[in-house]
Amino acid sequence: MKNLKKRLQQGEALNGCWLNLGSPLTAEIVGNAGYDWVLIDLEHGAGNEKDALSQLQALQSGTAGVIVRVESTDRRRVQRTLDMGAEGIMCPQIENATDAQIAVDGMHYSPDGKRGVAKMVRATGFGKEFESYRQGSKENILGVIQIETSEALNHLDEIAALDGVDVLFIGPSDLTMSLGIFGQLNHPLYIDALKAIVTAAEKAGKAVGILLFDPGDYKTYYDMGIRFMACGSDATFVAQGAKNMAKALNSNKE
């Protein structure tokens, strides 16, 4: 465990990166690049659960904590991912406290949740460390709830107040789409939404996260109180690197 939850609770800013190629090789490279955390994307990424397992294995010796974004709040999806060794779960398209509670329930064992118990899984060292894992799971597993719709903005306080919700994570593309201002990150409606999310999180003692499109915006969001930021992805790095190299080579043509 990389103690992501404890570090956030202590006010540390944690920087992350998306993994959406489903590749253990790019995961290993990014996981050792200096990020505090990486996110394996099962919602929009190219990989499936089997690929996530390979990525988790590749990331084990790296310096970054590993979060997995699941496709839905279905308990089976959430607990299966945790059993494979994820340190946190990101749940997309959460619109109210009921949605958030379902997500959190899948992350934690009874009496804190409804996660099924299996000892012989990777997260517990295939049974060897089950008791220590079980006892520490509540304080170690990071629950990241995505705020991506205008409806979610109506329930921020109730969502943030839930035990097990550790981060309210802003999805800029989906949120601006829902607000009818797609991609307008300087629009007053979007700025007001960000402020409301930060306020709700601060009242509940929770953290706020966001996906950046430009690292130059980091200070702006940091000054707003956002401490869990991600920028870039393995797919972006490969695409940009390939494009830049081809451009450099082609510039030498006569």
Question: 234-244 pLDDT, tens per residue?
Answer: 999 999 999 99
Tell me the domain boundaries of the chain.
4-250
Q: What is the pLDDT of residue 191?
A: 98
The rounded distance, in Å, linking the Cα atoms of 151 and 126 is 41
Q: Retrieve residue 27's tokens.
A: 């995961």
Q: Does domain 4-250 have CATH number 3.40.50.150?
A: no
Q: What are the 10-residue block averages of pLDDT along the chain, 254 residues in total?
A: 92 98 98 97 96 98 96 93 98 97 97 96 97 96 98 98 98 98 98 98 98 97 98 98 97 85
What's the confidence (pLDDT) of residue 246?
A: 97
- Tell me what pLDDT residue 1 has: 67
The pLDDT of residue 223: 98
For 57, half-sphere exposure in the C-beta direction (CA atoms, 13 angstrom radius) is 11
- At 254 the pLDDT is 65
d(CA 206, CA 212): 20
Residues 6 or more apart whose CB falls under 8 angstroms from that of 86 comprise: 40, 52, 56, 66, 67, 68, 123
| Amino acid type, 122 | R
Four-point Cα dihedral 14, 18, 24, 27, nearest 10: -40
Distance of CA 113 to the CA centre of its chain: 20
Q: Please give the pLDDT value at position 85.
A: 97
Of 44, 108, 155, 187, which one is the catalytic site residue? 44
Give which of 28, 47, 12 is closest to 167, Cα–Cα. 12
44 is catalytic: yes
Report the SS3 class of residue 44. Answer: coil
